[in-house]
């Protein structure tokens, strides 16, 4: 890229700060957040790297949206309402002005959708791959948030949306799977490229005291559930037959049911919300699902102990050897 950092900031990034006065049009050394006294600011930070978290050949708009959305998903997992973010872009010689314009147009589209503003950041040149770090800001009622260490035995385990779609989309992009139905193929790829953070859901869970305990699924259902169970010093049983799948995922994976389940519970990049709630909240949750038009599935129970088990319909254990999710 042969344009200067300052041109880039002025022409591409500064317009994204319009409407947030204390970002000073990105012309100062920093931005201000003047939080309402009844609230706490929530801060999260994620780095995404070309060739690791996305393909450099993905549309620039989609890369931008993924970088923002994985952070919005973290805020959702805290029950926070997002309002701003800072972005650092380490770009290399393969990135040109047109690419940056597409990238920032992706950000602009999501800013409208999620009511957030760019309030600062950095642009630097790197000899390495394109590397984007976003720090995202939301707010919660003062000192309150969803946590990981508050799950209690007997609580239901819930998950939003459907599982495995992004992992299946990645398999398609890598040529390891294919679907004859174009719409399904595109849906799965889209789920990998542009996750759907459950921002409203997270806020409702906290605000309506439906749940204390949530996280978003980035490393795979079982790996992330294990973060909750370890932090809460509990165990969990998940029922295989209750796992929620999309039609596209079903169509792609139905020929190998075991592989399907494995991908659904270990595949990452779902960015669905995993949360626990008392049985007494079931009705409220079903109503919330309808209000928000988000599928919410009860997939298991928090148990005493420290085991996380996935049970088949006949009650036998589904064996999973490796929980780890490597992006690619």
Interface residues toward a second copy, by CB under 8 A:
4, 22, 24, 27-35, 37, 40-49, 51-53, 74-75, 77-78, 80, 86-88, 90, 119-122, 124-129, 131, 133, 135, 137-138, 140, 142-143, 145, 147-149, 215-216, 227, 231, 324
Minimum CB distance to a second copy, residue 81 (Å): 12
Minimum CB distance to a second copy, residue 265 (Å): 18
Torsion of CA 325, 136, 295, 240, to 10 degrees: 20
- Closer to a second copy by CB, 19 or 37: give it: 37
- Closer to a second copy by CB, 142 or 282: give it: 142
Q: Provide the pairing of β-strand 131-141 with 81-91.
A: antiparallel
- Closer to a second copy by CB, 28 or 250: give it: 28
Minimum CB distance to a second copy, residue 216 (Å): 6
Q: CA nearest 53: which of 266, 270, 328, 267?
A: 328
DSSP 147: B
Minimum CB distance to a second copy, residue 236 (Å): 17
How does DSSP assign 159-190, residue by residue?
EES-SSHHHHHHHHHTTS---S-HHHHHHHHH
Task: Report d(CA 44, CA 224) in Å as an integer.
Answer: 17
What are the CA-CA distances from residue 24 to residues 88, 107, 202 (Å)? Answer: 17, 19, 30
Distance of CA 328 to the CA centre of its chain: 17
Q: Assess contact for 225 and 280: CB atoms under 8 A.
A: no
Minimum CB distance to a second copy, residue 146 (Å): 8
Task: Report d(CA 255, CA 226) in Å as an integer.
Answer: 29
Minimum CB distance to a second copy, residue 32 (Å): 4
DSSP bridge pairs for 98:
none
- Closer to a second copy by CB, 121 or 300: give it: 121
- Closer to a second copy by CB, 52 or 181: give it: 52
- Closer to a second copy by CB, 18 or 52: give it: 52
Minimum CB distance to a second copy, residue 33 (Å): 4
- Closer to a second copy by CB, 223 or 248: give it: 223
Q: Assess contact for 176 and 201: CB atoms under 8 A.
A: no
Distance of CA 261 to the CA centre of its chain: 20
Task: Report d(CA 122, CA 65) in Å as an integer.
Answer: 18
Minimum CB distance to a second copy, residue 89 (Å): 8
Task: Report d(CA 264, CA 270) in Å as an integer.
Answer: 9
Beta sheet of 235-239, edge-to-edge order: 213-216, 273-277, 156-160, 296-303, 235-239, 308-311
- Closer to a second copy by CB, 78 or 296: give it: 78
Task: Report d(CA 101, CA 119) in Å as an integer.
Answer: 18
DSSP bridge pairs for 118:
85
DSSP bridge pairs for 297:
159
- Closer to a second copy by CB, 46 or 156: give it: 46
């Amino acid at each position: 890229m042969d344009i200067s950092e300052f041109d880039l900031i002025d022409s591409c990034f500064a317009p994204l700060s319009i409407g947030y006065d204390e970002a000073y049009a990105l012309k100062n050394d920093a931005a201000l957040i003047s939080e309402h006294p009844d609230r706490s600011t929530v801060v999260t930070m994620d780095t995404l790297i070309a060739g690791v978290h996305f393909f450099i050949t993905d549309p620039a708009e989609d890369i931008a949206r993924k970088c923002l959305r994985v952070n919005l998903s973290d805020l959702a997992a805290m029950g926070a309402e997002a309002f701003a973010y800072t972005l650092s872009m380490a770009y290399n010689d393969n990135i040109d002005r047109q690419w940056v314009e597409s990238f920032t147009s992706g950000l602009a589209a999501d800013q409208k959708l999620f009511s957030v503003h760019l309030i600062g950041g950095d642009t630097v040149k790197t000899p390495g791959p394109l590397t984007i770090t976003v720090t995202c800001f939301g707010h919660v009622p003062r000192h309150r948030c969803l946590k990981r260490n508050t799950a209690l035995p007997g609580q239901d385990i819930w998950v939003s949306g459907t599982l495995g779609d992004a992992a299946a989309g990645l398999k398609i992009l890598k040529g390891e799977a294919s679907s004859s139905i174009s719409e399904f193929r595109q849906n799965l790829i889209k789920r990998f490229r542009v996750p759907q953070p459950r921002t409203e859901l997270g806020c409702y869970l906290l605000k309506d005291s439906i749940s204390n305990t949530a996280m978003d699924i980035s490393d795979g259902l079982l790996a992330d559930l294990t973060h909750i169970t370890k932090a809460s010093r509990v165990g969990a049983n998940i029922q295989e037959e209750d796992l929620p799948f999309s039609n596209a995922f079903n169509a792609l994976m139905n020929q190998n049911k075991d592989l399907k389940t494995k991908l659904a519970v270990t595949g990452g990049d779902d960015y669905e919300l995993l949360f626990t709630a008392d049985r007494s909240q079931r009705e409220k949750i079903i109503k919330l699902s309808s209000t928000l038009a988000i599928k919410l599935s009860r997939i298991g129970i928090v148990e005493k102990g420290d085991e996380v088990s996935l049970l088949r319909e006949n009650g036998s254990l589904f064996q999973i050897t490796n929980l780890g999710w490597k992006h690619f």
